[in-house]
């Protein structure tokens, strides 16, 4: 079959698909890409969703864009990316091992028995490993479930191992790779926000346990141990973590501090991971949410402002991490339908998004 004949057949088939859902005002070819100018429909978002699902089954990807006063659908070839699941399993096994080592180091802390009583190192190591991987895994499964609901294909979670003492507890977290774009801004919003919400809930569950089993130590005792050559790190705790600990295990006085059980570190890590992901930085979950709400230009400006704000508030570490993500670049996730607006119900959810972000931020004092 000749090349021109193949292009003609593709044009006719895509025209047939588009005309099934929309009235075509004009059609043309831009190089090898079929382009259709369509009439505005009242239920544009819904109809385009049906078109996208059918087109993907036939190996096409429709793109809905605004061109001056016209609505335009471009149809490009599409083949969903397929990744070997063995890679995800190997990375998970490696991450389990590095987190396990990190957990063993934390469980072997020589001061834990003095502060919280008898320590079962193997049990504490396993509970730490399972809890940390569960918090990260539940976060990623939030993305996966939202993607499945919207019929957007994704990879399995790819856990990222790290040497103990590097990253967060022996891991750099995990990612799920999209094998196809979301159809519209609603889907982009849902997929972006679902992970942090799921991870936030899982972190609260761990925190409720950690608050009851962590110990307290006096500042005087810490100074004595420091004089003996030991070193300790004081970490600013997220707002909600502070509130939960204060309720279930209030400090006996102003000269006391919490000495974190390994599970409490998992709690801290879960809140930090959620906070970082919720910041409106281009490549992160919050970036997808704000991109769906404000559009690409305003979202990019907000990305820069958020890093500046973090630094101004004293969150230097988080600001540097966010800046690193921005410098990594990469093409932002773009919905197929870039015309229809975000639904009102999702716009209202932005308030919940902001509240969760504030609750997960560490107190700078």
Q: Where is pLDDT greater, at 21 or 331?
A: 21
What pLDDT, on a 0 to 100 scale, did the predictor assign at position 202? 98
> Tens of pLDDT along 116-171?
888 899 999 999 999 999 999 999 999 999 999 999 999 999 999 999 877 889 99
> Tens of pLDDT along 334-347?
899 999 999 999 99
> Tens of pLDDT along 213-238?
999 999 999 999 998 888 888 888 99
Q: How many CB atoms lie within 10 A of CB 349?
A: 18
What pLDDT, on a 0 to 100 scale, did the predictor assign at position 208? 97
* pLDDT bucket at 81, cuts 50 / 70 / 90: confident
Tokens of 17: 């698909």
Residues 6+ apart with CB under 8 A from 254: none
Cα–Cα dist 48/183, whole Å = 8
Cα–Cα dist 289/286, whole Å = 5
Find, among 365, 164, 171, the residue nearest to 273 by Cα.
171
Domain spanning 3-77, CATH architecture: Alpha-Beta Complex (3.90)
Residues 6+ apart with CB under 8 A from 293: 185, 189, 299, 342, 346, 347, 350
- Residue 36, judged by CB atoms within 10 A of its CB (0-12, 13-18, 19+), counts as buried
With H, G, I as helix, E, B as strand and everything else as coil, classify residue 24: strand
**Sequence spans of domains, the chain:** 3-77, 85-278+335-360
H helices present in 295-361, as ranges = 296-312, 316-327, 344-360
Q: What is the mean pLDDT of residues 285-306?
A: 89
């Amino acid at each position: 079959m000749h090349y021109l004949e193949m292009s003609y057949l593709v044009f006719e088939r895509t025209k047939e698909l588009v005309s099934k859902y929309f009235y075509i005002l004009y059609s043309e070819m831009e190089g090898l890409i079929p382009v259709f100018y369509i009439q505005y429909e009242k239920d544009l978002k819904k109809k385009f969703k049906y078109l996208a699902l059918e087109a993907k089954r036939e190996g096409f990807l429709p793109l809905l864009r605004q061109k001056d006063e016209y609505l335009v659908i471009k149809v490009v070839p599409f083949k969903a990316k397929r990744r070997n699941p063995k890679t995800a399993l190997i990375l998970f096994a490696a991450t389990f091992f590095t987190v396990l080592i990190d957990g063993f180091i934390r469980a072997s802390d020589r001061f834990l028995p003095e502060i919280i009583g008898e320590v079962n190192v193997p049990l504490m190591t396993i509970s730490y490993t399972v809890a940390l991987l569960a918090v990260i895994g539940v976060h990623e499964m939030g993305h996966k479930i939202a993607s499945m609901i919207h019929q957007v294909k994704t990879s399995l979670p790819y856990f990222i191992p790290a040497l103990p003492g590097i990253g967060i507890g022996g891991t750099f977290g995990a990612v799920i790779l999209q094998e196809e774009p979301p159809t519209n801004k609603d889907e982009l919003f849902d997929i972006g926000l679902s992970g942090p919400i799921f991870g936030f809930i899982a972190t609260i569950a761990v925190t409720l346990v950690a608050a009851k089993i962590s110990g307290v130590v006096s500042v005087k005792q810490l100074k004595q141990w420091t004089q003996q050559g030991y070193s300790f790190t004081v970490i600013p705790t997220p707002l909600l973590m502070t509130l939960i600990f204060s309720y279930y295990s209030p400090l006996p006085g102003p000269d006391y501090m919490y000495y974190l059980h390994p599970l409490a570190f998992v709690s801290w890590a879960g809140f930090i991971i959620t906070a970082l992901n919720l910041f409106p930085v281009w490549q992160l979950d919050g970036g997808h949410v704000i991109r769906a709400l404000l559009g690409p230009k305003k979202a990019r400006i907000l990305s820069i402002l958020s890093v500046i704000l973090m630094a101004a508030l004293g969150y230097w570490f988080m600001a540097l991490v966010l800046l690193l993500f921005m410098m990594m670049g990469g093409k932002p996730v773009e919905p197929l339908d870039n015309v229809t607006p975000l639904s009102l119900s999702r716009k209202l959810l932005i308030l919940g998004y902001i509240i969760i972000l504030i609750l997960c931020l560490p107190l700078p004092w």
